[in-house]
């Protein structure tokens, strides 16, 4: 049976990729709705951080096996 | 009012959450073959898994929204809920109470009452817990639909039915295991989905120091204004905080509420079960960095006319629960909005799954098998657990519709908690640590404690007596009333249980071995390394707790 850390890694990776894509799209074509601190592109770096965390959990599961 | 506007990526993030939790339910079903798998997750979880689930079962979205709003209203005093109002009780559970719970191989808290006292005390608590759990589950469902309608514009019925059916499917298939897995996913989603609000708030305002500097002085301290109730936002003295919240409400909840304690029962051995609440205590202490910080950021922004930030007003009343959603709308662009909504959804759904998985266990063992069908087989109990899950979800939906047509039911929530948990803690404390407490003393003391809590709530609500009579203070908030009512319910149960025990028949001591402190051999941990002992980590946790309280004194 796969451990919970595999599913945590999977969830963070999938959602992180989606958030990163949104960040890239906003970077290329700035949205009409302006958010406070939108200029620091939080979607982009937070999405990348989530993907990194997700991969870390997936690697933990792989090493456990 | 609609704060969020969702784009395609936001919808994809939300959809992926539903796919993952339903997929988990299907995946785990093949590993759920008997009643231990379904009700206790096979008793194979590590302390980390059980510990994160233990914390997450308490980490509902309603609490996140409510506590952020309360921080806006009361200031840093709300941190007491996370520190003195949680940590000592969690450590007490792990170090002193868990050996009796875990070693007696019970499947539920009422199961302990049966072994220590008798069947009638077990059934009384089982019924009270079952009713409380379904009411909480239904009101949680109603609150979720209300939040999603207010801030995302979703249809009330659709959001309620979709989330309820999803929970019924995955809990129905694999019971406590899927509830625990989704609770841990929820934990990470809440951190990744909501902590960014605090980070961006700090960046906008400048620093944490600047945030504390810009709120009223009484809002940025924990204890220094607690000598006089009129000097702090919560209008409570240190005695109310320590006795009501820190002792009765906190110990009553963390040591006896089966919703959270069930997660520790799923641990693979006694050491892991004892480590479960100890590990959870560290994560609990970190939560104010989401909740309290976000509440203070909202307060600072609302005091600055140039920020354009103001809480929602409904019918002339400030909606404090709108603080967190409005911060999400302020800072989160496309993609992150979906993540924020998913974090809230996950909080609501995991909370509901926790309630349903606790309910199906108590119903199956403490009411059905105990009263209705005493000879039920393993396979029949597994079937009954699944039926109880579906019925529990249906009753929750009914309760949610009831709450919709009768919104003041929300006012009764605090009363329900102090009605069941506060007196039960007195019963458990006496049962575990005093050998001569009798079954009749426990039953009548518990009944009187539950009754007095409910009576005091009604007496203040309908102004039969003044709140100041209960709180021993001329200026007191509703929150202070809740703390003090819990204290009196505990005290009445405690005192009556002792008095009645003097005059009623005791259980033979031979039947109490393993259930009462002075009749049970101490756990032998001589072969456990120092840094793997629960006591070591409990001491570290206390040191961190004291340091935090001194720093924010």
pLDDT in tens, B322-378: 888 889 989 999 889 999 989 988 888 888 888 898 899 999 988 998 888 888 888
Which among B7, B204, B338 has CB closest to A37?
A: B204
B429-444: average pLDDT: 94
Q: Which of B105-119, B232-246, B493-507 tops mean pLDDT? A: B493-507
Answer yes or no: is B416 within a domain.
no
pLDDT at B409: 58
Q: Is the ipTM of this complex over 0.90?
A: yes
- Quick check: A36 and B330 CB within 8 A? yes
Q: How far is CA B230 from the centre of its chain?
A: 29
Answer yes or no: is B58 within a domain.
yes
Measured between CA atoms, the residue of chain A closest to residue B199 is A42
pLDDT at B92: 94
Q: Phi and psi at residue B178, in whole multiples of 5°?
A: -70, -35
- Quick check: A33 and B49 CB within 8 A? no
Answer yes or no: is B93 within a domain.
yes
Quote the percentage of chain B above a pLDDT of 70: 96
pLDDT at A62: 81
CA distance B424 to B417: 11
CA distance B132 to B60: 16
B78-83: average pLDDT: 89
Task: Count CA atoms closer than 13 A to B391's CA, side-chain side.
Answer: 13
Assigned token pair, B130? 């079952």
- Indicate if the pLDDT at residue B105 is higher than 60: yes
- Quick check: A33 and B204 CB within 8 A? no
Residues of B in contact with A25 (CB under 8 A): 9, 334
- Quick check: B336 and A43 CB within 8 A? yes
> How many domains is chain A built from?
1
Answer yes or no: is B131 within a domain.
yes
At B206, which CATH number? 1.20.1730.10
Residues of A in contact with B17 (CB under 8 A): 11, 15
Answer yes or no: is B491 within a domain.
no
**Three-state DSSP class for residue B319:** strand
**Three-state DSSP class for residue B354:** helix
B305-328: average pLDDT: 84
pLDDT tens for B451-477 read: 988 888 888 878 888 777 777 766 666
- Quick check: B12 and A18 CB within 8 A? yes
Find the length of chain B: 553
Answer yes or no: is B246 within a domain.
yes
- Quick check: A35 and B335 CB within 8 A? no
Answer yes or no: is B467 within a domain.
no
Domain that holds residue B247: 8-408+533-551
Closest CA to B89 of B278, B251, B284: B251
> How many domains is chain B built from?
1
pLDDT at A26: 87
Answer yes or no: is B413 within a domain.
no
pLDDT at B1: 55
Q: Kindly give, in sequence order, each residue whose CB lies less than 8 Å from that of residue B481, ignoring residues fewer than 6 positions away.
A: B460, B467, B470, B471
**Three-state DSSP class for residue B531:** helix
Domain that holds residue A57: 4-64
Average pLDDT, chain B: 87
Q: Phi and psi at residue B45, in whole multiples of 5°?
A: -85, 145
Is A21 part of the contact surface with chain B (CB cutoff 8 Å)?
Answer: yes
B183-187: average pLDDT: 91
pLDDT at B121: 93
Residues of A in contact with B331 (CB under 8 A): 35-37, 42
> Best mutation site among B3, B9, B186 for testing chain A: the one with the most A CBs within 10 Å?
B9
Is A14 part of the contact surface with chain B (CB cutoff 8 Å)?
Answer: yes
B522-544: average pLDDT: 87
In chain B, residues 194-253 whose CB comes closer than 8 Å to chain A: 196, 200, 203-204
pLDDT at A51: 96
- Indicate if the pLDDT at residue B141 is higher than 80: yes
- Indicate if the pLDDT at residue B481 is higher than 80: no
Is A58 part of the contact surface with chain B (CB cutoff 8 Å)?
Answer: no
CA distance B530 to B539: 12
B250-278: average pLDDT: 89
Q: How far is CA B284 from the centre of its chain?
A: 11
CA distance B4 to B18: 20
């Amino acid at each position: 049976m796969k451990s919970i850390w595999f599913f945590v890694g999977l969830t963070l990776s999938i959602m992180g990729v989606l958030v990163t894509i949104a960040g890239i799209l906003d970077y290329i074509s700035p949205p009409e709705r302006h958010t406070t601190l939108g200029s620091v592109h939080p979607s982009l770096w937070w999405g990348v951080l989530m993907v990194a965390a997700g991969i870390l959990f997936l690697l933990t599961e792989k090493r456990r096996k | 009012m609609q704060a969020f506007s969702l784009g395609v990526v936001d919808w994809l993030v939300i959809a992926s959450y539903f796919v993952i939790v339903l997929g988990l339910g299907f995946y785990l079903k093949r590993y759920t073959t008997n009643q231990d798998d379904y009700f206790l997750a096979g008793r194979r979880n590590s302390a980390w898994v059980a510990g994160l689930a233990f914390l997450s079962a308490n980490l509902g979205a309603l609490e996140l929204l409510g506590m952020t709003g309360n921080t806006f209203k009361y200031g840093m005093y709300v941190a007491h809920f996370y520190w003195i109002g949680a940590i000592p009780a969690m450590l007490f559970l792990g170090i002193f109470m868990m050996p009796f719970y875990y070693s007696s191989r019970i499947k539920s808290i009422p199961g302990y009452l049966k072994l220590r006292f008798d069947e009638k005390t077990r059934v009384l608590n089982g019924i009270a817990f079952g009713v409380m759990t379904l009411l909480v589950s239904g009101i949680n469902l109603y609150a979720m639909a209300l939040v999603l309608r207010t801030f995302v514009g979703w249809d009330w019925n659709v959001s309620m039915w979709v989330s309820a059916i999803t929970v019924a499917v995955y809990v129905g298939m694999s019971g406590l295991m899927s509830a625990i897995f989704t609770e841990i996913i929820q934990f990470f989603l809440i951190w990744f989905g909501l902590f960014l609000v605090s980070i961006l708030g700090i960046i906008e305002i400048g620093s944490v120091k600047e945030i504390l500097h810009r709120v009223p002085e009484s809002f940025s301290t924990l204890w220094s204004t607690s000598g006089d109730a009129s000097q702090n936002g919560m209008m409570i003295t240190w005695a109310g905080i320590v006795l009501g919240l820190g002792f009765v409400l906190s110990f009553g909840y963390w040591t006896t509420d089966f919703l959270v304690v069930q997660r520790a029962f799923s641990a693979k051995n006694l050491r892991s079960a004892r480590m479960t609440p100890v590990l959870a205590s560290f994560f609990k202490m970190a939560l104010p960095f989401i909740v309290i910080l976000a509440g203070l950021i909202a307060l600072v922004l609302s005091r600055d006319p140039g920020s354009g930030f103001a809480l929602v007003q409904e019918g002339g009343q400030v909606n404090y629960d709108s603080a967190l959603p409005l911060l999400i709308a302020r800072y989160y662009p496309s993609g992150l909005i979906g993540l924020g909504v998913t974090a809230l959804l996950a909080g609501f759904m995991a909370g509901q799954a926790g309630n349903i998985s606790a309910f199906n266990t108590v119903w199956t063992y403490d009411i059905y098998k105990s009263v209705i069908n005493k000879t039920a087989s393993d396979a029949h109990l597994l079937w009954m657990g699944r039926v109880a899950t579906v019925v529990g979800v249906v009753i929750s939906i009914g309760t949610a519709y009831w709450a919709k047509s009768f919104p003041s039911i929300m006012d009764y929530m605090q009363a329900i908690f102090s009605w069941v948990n506060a007196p039960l803690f007195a019963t458990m404390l006496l049962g575990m640590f005093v050998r001569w407490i009798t079954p009749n003393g426990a039953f009548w003391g518990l009944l009187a404690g539950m009754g007095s809590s409910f009576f005091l709530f009604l007496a203040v609500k309908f102004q039969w007596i003044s709140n100041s009579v209960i709180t021993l203070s001329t200026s007191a908030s509703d929150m202070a009333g809740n703390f003090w009512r819990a204290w009196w319910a505990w005290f009445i149960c405690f005192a009556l249980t002792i008095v009645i025990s003097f005059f009623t028949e005791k259980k033979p001591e031979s039947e109490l071995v393993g259930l009462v402190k002075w009749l049970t051999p101490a756990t032998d941990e001589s072969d456990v390394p120092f840094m793997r002992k629960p006591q070591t980590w409990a001491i570290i946790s206390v040191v961190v707790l004291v340091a935090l309280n001194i720093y924010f004194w």
